[in-house]
Amino acid sequence: MDRLQKNNKSVGEMEFLRFVFSIIIVLHHSRNFVGNKSSLFLNGAFAVEFFFILSGFLMMKSIRKIQTDSQNLGAETARFIKRNICRYVPT
């Protein structure tokens, strides 16, 4: 397995962990709707911290890739923002 395949696999694993932490956060906050103050995910703060740490790491990894591939970081940033906004705007 070359470095690129191994790298993509580890990013996928981190994305999966980020998904798991987001589910824990949702379940933690849903206890207010259910009315159960002693839920299984009572201490959901750890999931928030890990979620933001992983998100920050993945964002920096993306920025690092852009910096090595392109000389114009401003144009790449504008394209990134436009692409992400277009994903959420209905066509």
Dist. CA 11–CA 76, nearest whole Å: 21
- Of 5-9, 15-19, 60-64, where does mean pLDDT reach its minimum? 5-9
Give the model confidence (pLDDT) of 25-54 as tens digits.
Answer: 888 777 767 666 665 666 677 888 888 888
Counting the structural domains of the chain, the total is: 1
**Contact partners, residue 16, CB within 8 Å, separation at least 6:** none
- pTM attached to this predicted model: 0.55
Tell me which residue range forms the domain holding 65.
Answer: 3-88
